Structure 1
Amino acid sequence: MKTSIVIVDDHILIAKALSGILANFEQFEVLYECENGKELQERCQHPKNVPNVVLLDISMPIMDGFETAAWLKETYPEVLIMALSMQDDEHSLIKMIKSGAKGYLLKNVHPTVLADALNHLVKNGHYYPEWAASKVFSSICNEDKQSDKKDLFNNREKTFLRFTVTEMSYKEIANQMNCSTRTVEGYRDSLFEKLELKTRVGLAVYAIKNGFDS
C-alpha cells in the first residue's frame, strides 16, 4: 500500500515540483496540495482526505507551519509531519518539534534525499537532518532510557533545561538564574555528560520530550 502524502506550501511552484518528484517514487502518492493550514483543516473534514504524511512548509500566510503542526498533533496524532524549511536554524527546528513535527527537511535537498527521509519517517516515526545531530535525536527517541536519568539532575540543572527551549542566549539565561554565564555553561556541560549529548538542540529536544518545557 502506498503512503499518502499532502503537501502544504503557499509557493505553488514548489508544491507542484514536490508533487512531480514524489510521482516518480512508487511507494508514495500525493493526495492533494494546500496553500496553508486553514485549507488543510477544511480538506481534512472528509476522512478520505486525511493522509499518512504531511509535508509542511513553515512560513505561510493565514495559518503557518507551527500552528498547523500543533493542530495536526491534537486532531490527527497519527499523521506524520515532515517540516519543510529554507533555513537550518535551531529555533525553527525546536519550535516545530515542540509543535508536533516528527521530521525536518531543507527544501534544497536532492530528490533522493527526500525519498530517503520520507521512508525513514514512515519506518521509524522520525527523521532529522545531519546538522541537527542525528545521534542526539535517535537517542532521545528512546524516552524510557532517557527518562531514567531525570533523577541525576539537581534543581538548578532542571531549571536550566527549561530555558534551553527558549531563544535566550546563555548570558540571558544566566541573568534569569541570577548566576554567571560560566556557571550556566557548567550546568550545560554537566547535562551534556549525563545525557551523552553534544548540542543545545539535543538538550532542548530532551526537555520537550520529557516535560521540562512547561
Structure 2
Amino acid sequence: MQHSVVVVDDHVLIAEALTGMINKFKRYTVLYEADNGKSLVERFKQPVNIPDIVLVDINMPEMNGFETAQWLTQNHPGIRILALSMQDEEETIIKMIRCGAKGYLLKNVHPGELEKALDALMDRGYYYPDWIAHKVLLSLSSEKETPAAPKITLNDREKDFLRYAATELTYKEIAEKMFCSPRTVESYRDSLFEKFGLKTRVGLVMYALRNGLIELN
C-alpha cells in the first residue's frame, strides 16, 4: 500500500531532492511540495491534498515548523509529522515534540534511515533515532514484553520542573520561573534522571509525555 507524503521546506533544491528520494521508496509517494506552513494550509483546503505524513522543516518564512506542526496537530491530528532540520539543540527538539512532531531527523540523514523513519511513523506512530533518547526508545520498544515498571512518586517541585523542562526554556530560565538557583534546578533534573534511568533532557520529556506525567498545552 502506498502512503502519501508532503514535503514542506523553503529551500527548493532540498525539497526537490527529498521528493526524488522519497519517490524511490516502495511504500511512499510525494503528493507535492510547499515552501512554508501557510502554503500548506492553503493546499489543505482541498481534501485530495491531505497526506498521511508531512515532512516539515523548522526555519521557514511566514509560518515556521513549530507553527505548522501545531496547526496540523489541532486540525488534522491523524497526520504523522516528521521534523527534518539542521538543528540538534535539545530545546528545539523538545518544542517540536510539544507541537506534535512524532519524529525528528537531521537533514544529513542517510536515505535508508529516512525510509526507516517513514515506516516507523506509519507502523508505530513515532520515530526518534538513538541519538535523541536511546534508553527511552528501548523502553518503548519492549513495553509489551516486560512487566509494568513500579509507580514512581514525584514531589511537587519535580513535577513543576518536568513541566518547564518540556518547553524551550533554558535551565537558567527554569530556575527563574521556579524561584530557585540553577544548581537547585540541576538537582531536580539529576534526581529525575536517576528515578527514570535516563541521561538527557529530551529523553526525560519524552518519557514524561509517554507516561502521562505531563500534558501538551
Do both proteins adopt the same fold according to a TM-score greater than 0.5, normalized to the shorter chain? yes
Shift of 1:45: 1.2
Amino acid at match of 2:30: V
- Given the alignment of the two structures, is residue 22 of structure 1 paired with residue 22 of structure 2, yes or no? yes
TM-score (norm 1): 0.87
Aligned match of 1:157: 158
Q: Tell me if structure 1 keeps the 8 A contact 2:92–2:168.
A: no
Shift of 1:140: 6.3
Aligned match of 2:96: 96
Compared with structure 1, are the counterparts of its residues 116 and 140 closer, same or farther at alpha carbon in structure 2 (3 Å cutoff)? Answer: closer
Amino acid at match of 1:132: I
Shift of 1:73: 0.4
Q: Tell me if structure 2 keeps the 8 A contact 1:158–1:212.
A: no
Distance 1:107 1:200 in 2: 22
Amino acid at match of 2:5: I
Where in structure 2 are the equivalents of 1:8-47 lying within 5 Å? Answer: 8-47=8-47
- Given the alignment of the two structures, is residue 73 of structure 1 paired with residue 59 of structure 2, yes or no? no
- Given the alignment of the two structures, is residue 203 of structure 1 paired with residue 204 of structure 2, yes or no? yes
- Given the alignment of the two structures, is residue 166 of structure 1 paired with residue 189 of structure 2, yes or no? no
Shift of 1:20: 0.8
Q: Tell me if structure 2 keeps the 8 A contact 1:140–1:146.
A: no
Shift of 1:11: 0.7
Distance 2:58 2:172 in 1: 29
Shift of 1:172: 4.1
Deviations 1:83-134 (A, max 9, x none): 0101211111111110010000111111111111111121111111222113
**Partner SS state of residue 109, structure 2:** coil
Q: Tell me if structure 1 keeps the 8 A contact 2:91–2:169.
A: no
**Partner SS state of residue 133, structure 1:** helix
Deviations 1:56-86 (A, max 9, x none): 0111101111111001001110100000101
Amino acid at match of 2:111: P
**Partner SS state of residue 77, structure 1:** coil
Instruction: Supply the RMSD in Å over aligned alpha carbons.
Output: 2.3
Shift of 1:169: 3.9
Compared with structure 1, are the counterparts of its residues 212 and 81 closer, same or farther at alpha carbon in structure 2 (3 Å cutoff)? Answer: closer
Distance 2:4 2:100 in 1: 19
**Partner SS state of residue 81, structure 2:** strand
Amino acid at match of 1:20: G
Where in structure 2 are the equivalents of 1:58-137 lying within 5 Å? Answer: 58-137=58-137
Compared with structure 1, are the counterparts of its residues 99 and 169 closer, same or farther at alpha carbon in structure 2 (3 Å cutoff)? Answer: closer
Number of paired residues? 210
Structure 1 portions without partners, runs of 5+: none
Amino acid at match of 1:114: L
Compared with structure 1, are the counterparts of its residues 10 and 193 closer, same or farther at alpha carbon in structure 2 (3 Å cutoff)? Answer: same
Distance 2:121 2:110 in 1: 17
Distance 1:154 1:81 in 2: 33
Structure 2 portions without partners, runs of 5+: none
